[in-house]
Structure 1
Amino acid sequence: MKVLMVITGLGMGGAEHVVTNLADELVTLGHTVKIAYLTGDVIVSPKSHDIELISIGMNSPKDFVKAYFKLRSVVNEFKPDVIHSHMFHSNIISRLLRLTISVPKIVSSSHNTHEGGRLRMLAYRSTYKLADISTNVSQEAVDTLVEKGAVKSGRMISVVNGIDINQFYFDKDARKNKRIELDIVNQKVVLAVGRLNHQKDYQNLLNSIFLLKKQRYDFKFLIAGDGPLKEELMLLLNKLEIAEFVEFLGIRRDIPALMSASDLFVLSSAWEGFGLVVAEAMACECVVVATDCGGVREVVGSEGFLVEPNNNILLAQALNKALDLSDDERSSIGAAARTRIINHYSLSANVDAYLKLYA
């Protein structure tokens, strides 16, 4: 089978990792895969050298027509059996291909509960019939987009993300080496991973650290990621006088090792579709403290701490409680968390679900 993945960009993010992991698995199974990305530089890429990455060159809305015809040219040349599009802009442009060329099958995947405002929902609603099926990464995300009118009930289904448990696992040696590298001695380490943007709500996290600091000093927060709010967050960090408790690591390519080095993982998001990094942290046996948004509750189950979004008081309380866990308690919760990911969110199950849609 020939599959063309179309994604808005290949920057650092959960959806980008999902797409590249899916592409790698499909190639391993004998399928031919190409990835077309609309804009930006390639930061996340597949492992397989057999997967061609094609830049469509849509750097602004004025490039839409040019990008449309370039993508159409890619489709005409590759002749895929399936176009699998991911994220808003790619979903729309891929659907519109059917107005001018024949495409055997289009699977249109969203990756969030929040895909934009009214105009985007109108664009989705006006084009959803051009896709054979639409998917989202949790039932909560599906229900939210149906409620917003992006798609009619029954035309979008949940396909949960899959985790590569052979990449994400607890590594005792990595924990030791990474803590030495980061000069961690006796502190308890709390890790956060994600773009520095409004969705991840790091303002909420920094304010919770300010409250936590009033109760204890035995912790260090590591934040891996970059984004448009970095300068604003650094100003808030200094204003709250918590710089000694927080280190911004920038973009990292050693996330599994960082998770092994950490005692807790925190997600402070205002909204999510699935919460891929939460599942990855659980696979690494991290105790998770997360905001109850999107599909995060579905992922965490009873194997972690959930608090309502946008509430730094409750987040600080949950972090304090999690930091109070004994080593045995933390190990027990971490082991149960990994078992949950293996049982419910394996990469192979994710690939199988999409292959059924491709058929």
Structure 2
Amino acid sequence: MSKIKILHCPIGSMNIGGIENMIMQMYRTIDRDRFSFDFVVHDGEKNFYEDEIISLGGILHRVDFISKNPLRHIIDFFKLLKNNPDYKVIHIHTTYSIMFMDALLSKLLGRTVIIHSHNSSAPAKRSVVHKLFKQLQDLFCDYRFTCSDFAAQWMFPKRSQKSAIFWPNAMDLEHLKFSQVARRSVREELEANGKFIIGNVGRLSYQKNQTRLLEIYAEYSKINADSELWLVGDGPDRENLEEYSRMLNISSKVRFLGAKKNVSDYLSAMDLFILTSRYEGLPLSLIETQTSGLMTLAVRSGITEQVKCNSALKYVDDISEKKWAVLINRQREKNLDRFGMFEEMLNSNFNIYRWISKVEDIYECIARGEILNDK
């Protein structure tokens, strides 16, 4: 029996990011005797996952991104499909409808097209593009997948939203298990023993809205001077956030730690995680915090409840900074069983070793042209 060949078309390239991480989690775990993954990437530089992809038997095809060079993109993508007729399934991963041309070209050449929604909104310019091409993109789509209910509402027209199937951003959870050794090590390194540590992991950006988190922490620090805020991650808003922390007179209590490979160690070292994002598809950080058994408060607006798997995660409505401070202080009295939370997550579909058998079934059904249902 020949392999089912899937061509993955992420909106970016195969560098560090939520979409890319989800794809690689699948690629490492799927039965590679039955399924083949190749990739379209949009830059000439070596990708972060490139060596691993090649070691697993994959190929990276380089095609200019459509917004950078539309005509070149159309010609090269068309040639790629024309020269590789064995790519029967085209799995498009996107956050807005800029990928409509890839879907159109794929359908023209008789391929089966998947549109996979990975976010629930976009910045202003991308929102305009999305409104222009949302209906068109949907016309060239055979199967619709979504990381959350919000992401389905954003990506697909109303007529198609019910056909969108939830595809959890599953991952290998083992390395996220709470570690007392890591907690002690990180806290000693940062001289934070005995302090109440509030944390956030993510790109420092408009979407993640760490500005709001700084405002909340500024109020909380008045209640508990023996606390710190740790921001793990980097991004375009870093300088502005550092300046804002100085304006709020909390810069001595806020640590900008940059991007870290050992994020799980920092989660173990934290006492409370707060997510204040303006919008999310399905935040991987909340899968990570629940797996670590870390108390987590997330703003309700814009963050799906489909990510909630255990009692570590609680949603918060739009409240004032003072009410936030009181709420945070209450969390100090709680004592979660962090190891027990890990066991709960292992039994969820966010565990890649549970979910991957469903992925294999989905791809086999698609290759046969069968209708899917969300079960």
Interval of TM-score (by shorter of Structure 1 and Structure 2): 0.7 to 0.9
Note if 1:346 corresponds to 2:354. no
Change (3 A) 1:124 1:356: farther
Residue 2 (structure 1) shift? 1.3
Equivalences for residues 185-196 of structure 1 within 5 A? 185-196=193-204
Q: Distance in 2 between matches of 1:34 and 1:198?
A: 32
Residue 367 (structure 2) aligns with? none
Q: Secondary structure at the match of 1:252?
A: coil
Identify which of 8, 11, 14 aligns with 1:8: 11
Equivalences for residues 92-171 of structure 1 within 5 A? 92-98=100-106, 100-103=108-111, 105-115=112-122, 116-146=126-156, 149=157, 152-171=160-179
Identify which of 57, 66, 69 aligns with 1:63: 69
Kept in 2, the 8 Å contact 1:139–1:157? The answer is no
Change (3 A) 1:144 1:242: same
Q: Distance in 2 between matches of 1:90 and 1:22?
A: 24
Residue 99 (structure 1) shift? 5.2
Q: Distance in 1 between matches of 2:164 and 2:26?
A: 19
Question: TM-score, normalising length from structure 2?
Answer: 0.83
How many residue pairs get matched? 350
Kept in 2, the 8 Å contact 1:305–1:318? The answer is no
Q: Distance in 2 between matches of 1:205 and 1:93?
A: 38
Q: Secondary structure at the match of 1:183?
A: coil
Residue 355 (structure 1) aligns with? 360
Residue 291 (structure 1) aligns with? 299
Greater shift, 2-11 or 82-91, is seen at 82-91
Kept in 2, the 8 Å contact 1:196–1:228? The answer is yes
Q: Distance in 2 between matches of 1:40 and 1:242?
A: 42
Q: Distance in 1 between matches of 2:158 and 2:43?
A: 24
Residue 175 (structure 1) aligns with? 183
Identify which of 48, 68, 73 aligns with 2:79: 73
Note if 1:308 corresponds to 2:317. yes
Kept in 2, the 8 Å contact 1:6–1:90? The answer is no
Identify which of 205, 211, 219 aligns with 1:203: 211
Identify which of 337, 342, 345 aligns with 2:341: 337
Note if 1:267 corresponds to 2:272. no
Residue 26 (structure 1) aligns with? 30
Q: Distance in 2 between matches of 1:98 and 1:205?
A: 43
Q: Distance in 1 between matches of 2:211 and 2:219?
A: 13
C-alpha deviations, 1:193-249, integer Å up to 9, x for none?
111111111011000010001100222221111222112111111100111211111
Q: Distance in 1 between matches of 2:7 and 2:260?
A: 28
Q: Which has the larger radius of gyration?
A: 2
Q: Secondary structure at the match of 1:61?
A: coil
Identify which of 12, 17, 21 aligns with 1:17: 21
Structure 1 residue runs without a partner (length 5+): none
C-alpha deviations, 1:274-305, integer Å up to 9, x for none?
11111111112211121124454222354322
Residue 320 (structure 1) shift? 2.3
Identity of aligned residues (%): 21
Runs of 4+ in 1 over 6 A off after TM superposition: none
Identify which of 326, 349, 355 aligns with 1:317: 326
Q: Secondary structure at the match of 1:244?
A: helix
Greater shift, 307-316 or 296-305, is seen at 307-316
Kept in 1, the 8 Å contact 2:97–2:133? The answer is no
Q: Distance in 2 between matches of 1:275 and 1:40?
A: 29
C-alpha deviations, 1:38-83, integer Å up to 9, x for none?
348634668452233343232x724122123323333344432321
Q: Secondary structure at the match of 1:80?
A: coil
CA-based RMSD: 2.7
Kept in 2, the 8 Å contact 1:82–1:107? The answer is yes
Identify which of 28, 36, 52 aligns with 2:59: 52
Question: TM-score, normalising length from structure 1?
Answer: 0.87
C-alpha deviations, 1:142-185, integer Å up to 9, x for none?
24545xx3762333222222131123211232222222333322
Kept in 1, the 8 Å contact 2:97–2:129? The answer is no
Q: Secondary structure at the match of 1:214?
A: helix
